[in-house]
């Protein structure tokens, strides 16, 4: 099939590359000429494991191309995916649909034949109705079906998620559109991925509900971790004990400094706005958002407490800056709040991340960045593990202890057993266990 992917951001580029790897002919469209020219040279705008090789293979195979010419990209396409950004709208927290609706108008003017127009972007309930209205008013003679097909990609594991999905959700009431979408995803038939057909509004809500539920699981175990510290329990054992219950499951029960990234923060807020507009308040999600914001700020105080309650004049090294490993995404990363709290307390902050430093620079002013974790730790009064990158899972702790001004390790991801940290000559502080346990 011929597929047009409007937008070459995280979702659009990964989806387009994976569709082409299935054997479809895909053209990715973006207004950013510099980005398109870079993609044509094989330079990726984001870090995602395996993406550069996947793009190169399919460009070479003639199945994947890039353009700034939307009419040319849309011409003769069987399926046109809208995969542009929907950031939080400044001032009120609603999802900003200007990119989605702008792309829809351009698509409507460029339609040349029957096609499905698919919203891949995360959009509030009812957006598909607005997309359909724009197409009907702009191109009343066009034969087009508007479909919702939300993405469920984890940054750092997006290619595998696309090719081996837990489920594929398609929102449409049209038999013709459903048949085209079955053909689009036919290559996944052998993987037996469930293809779930729902109404368009239901599909739109599934995406938001899924992210809000996962954010709730994260926030729940983070609050349990605080209780564990207070009563002398071990949150990792608690998480294992409840996660073995099939009704709960073990995923997203890893206590840490709070969730961040491109999805959970903006999607939970957008869902709250939708609920508010429809007089159906979501009190649990409201609490999740508030608790998560407070938690990220509290992590800075945890580091200061490890220093004896005084951070002024101290040097602190943060290892791992992105909101999660295997991505360069700094959006709403816990490290941002931690750095601000430490700097407000008078500390000097150093930062290390294997992929996110360039994205971190404009967000973390006055931070000294290092390309090596050991150099960042030299002379520091405390080392803080913020993101669980693989490169940080097997550090030479004895080497770090020898070069620090004070041997303090604050492990916000429970990477190391406290006893191993203390055996290396470091004082351990972490999450969900009494300080200096072991």
Q: Which residues contact 246 (CB under 8 A, 6 or more apart)?
A: none
Q: Which of 186, 225, 223, 198 is nearest to 78 (CA)?
A: 186
Angular region, 402: left φ>0, alpha ψ -120 to 50, beta rest: alpha
- Unique residue bearing structure tokens 């870090």: 47
Beta strands in 107-194 (DSSP E): 115-119, 144-148, 168-171
DSSP H stretches of helix in 79-123: 98-110
The question of whether 228 is a catalytic residue gets the answer no
CB 11 within 8 A of CB 153: yes
**% helix / strand / coil in the chain, to the nearest 5?**
45, 15, 40
| Spatial distance between the Cα atoms of 434 and 411, rounded to a whole number of angstroms | 13
For residue 298 the two structure tokens come to 């509290």
CB 48 within 8 A of CB 158: yes
Residue 4 belongs to what H/E stretch?
strand 2-6
Task: Identify the DSSP state of 95.
Answer: B
| Spatial distance between the Cα atoms of 55 and 18, rounded to a whole number of angstroms | 9
| Spatial distance between the Cα atoms of 438 and 434, rounded to a whole number of angstroms | 9
Q: Residue 303, Cα to own-chain centre: how many angstroms?
A: 25
CB 36 within 8 A of CB 30: yes
The active-site residue out of 18, 28, 228, 263 is 263
- Unique residue bearing structure tokens 């990363």: 333
| Spatial distance between the Cα atoms of 301 and 308, rounded to a whole number of angstroms | 11
CB environment 222-251: b (16+ within 10 A), e (fewer): bebbbebbeeebbbbebbeebbeeeeeeee
What are φ and ψ of residue 221, in 5° steps?
-70, -30
Q: Which residues contact 267 (CB under 8 A, 6 or more apart)?
A: 122, 207, 208, 211, 212
Q: Which residues contact 32 (CB under 8 A, 6 or more apart)?
A: 8, 68
The catalytic site residues sit at 263
């Amino acid at each position: 099939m011929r597929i047009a992917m409007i937008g070459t951001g995280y979702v659009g580029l990964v989806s387009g590359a994976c569709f082409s790897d299935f054997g479809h002919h895909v053209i990715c469209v973006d207004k950013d000429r510099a980005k398109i020219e870079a993609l044509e040279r094989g330079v990726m705008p984001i870090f995602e494991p395996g993406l550069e090789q996947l793009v190169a293979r399919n460009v070479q195979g003639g199945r994947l191309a890039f353009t700034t010419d939307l009419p040319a990209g849309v011409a003769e396409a069987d399926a046109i995916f809208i995969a542009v950004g929907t950031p939080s709208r400044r001032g009120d927290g609603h999802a900003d649909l200007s990119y989605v609706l702008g792309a829809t108008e351009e698509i409507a003017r460029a339609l040349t034949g029957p096609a499905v127009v698919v919203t891949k972007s995360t959009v509030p309930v009812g957006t598909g109705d607005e997309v359909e209205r724009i197409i009907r008013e702009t191109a009343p003679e066009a034969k087009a079906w508007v479909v919702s097909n939300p993405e469920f990609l984890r940054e750092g594991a997006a290619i595998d998620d696309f090719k081996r999905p837990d489920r594929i959700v398609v929102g449409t009431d049209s038999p013709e559109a459903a048949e085209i979408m079955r053909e689009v995803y036919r290559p996944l038939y052998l993987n037996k991925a469930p293809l779930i057909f729902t109404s368009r509004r239901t599909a739109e809500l599934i995406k938001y509900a899924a992210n809000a539920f996962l954010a709730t699981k994260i926030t729940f175990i983070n609050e349990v971790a605080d209780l564990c510290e207070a009563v002398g329990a071990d949150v990792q054992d608690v998480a294992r004990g409840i996660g073995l219950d099939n009704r709960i499951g073990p995923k997203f029960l890893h206590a840490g400094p709070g969730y961040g990234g491109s999805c959970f923060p903006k999607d939970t807020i957008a869902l709250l706005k939708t609920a508010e507009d429809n007089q159906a308040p979501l009190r649990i999600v409201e609490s999740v958002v508030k608790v998560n914001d407070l938690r990220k700020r509290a992590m800075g105080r945890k580091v200061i407490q490890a220093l004896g309650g005084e951070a002024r004049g101290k040097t602190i090294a943060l290892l791992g800056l992105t909101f999660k490993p295997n991505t360069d995404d700094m959006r709403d990363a816990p490290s941002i709040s931690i750095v601000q709290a430490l700097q407000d307390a008078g500390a000097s902050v150093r930062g290390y991340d294997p992929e996110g430093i360039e994205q971190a620079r404009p967000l973390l002013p006055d931070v000294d960045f290092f390309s090596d974790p050991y150099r960042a730790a030299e002379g520091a009064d405390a080392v803080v593990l913020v993101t669980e990158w693989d490169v940080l899972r097997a550090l030479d702790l004895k080497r770090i202890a020898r070069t620090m001004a004070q041997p303090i390790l604050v492990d916000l991801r429970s990477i190391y057993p406290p006893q191993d940290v203390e055996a290396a000559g470091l004082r351990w502080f972490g999450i969900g266990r009494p300080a200096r346990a072991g």
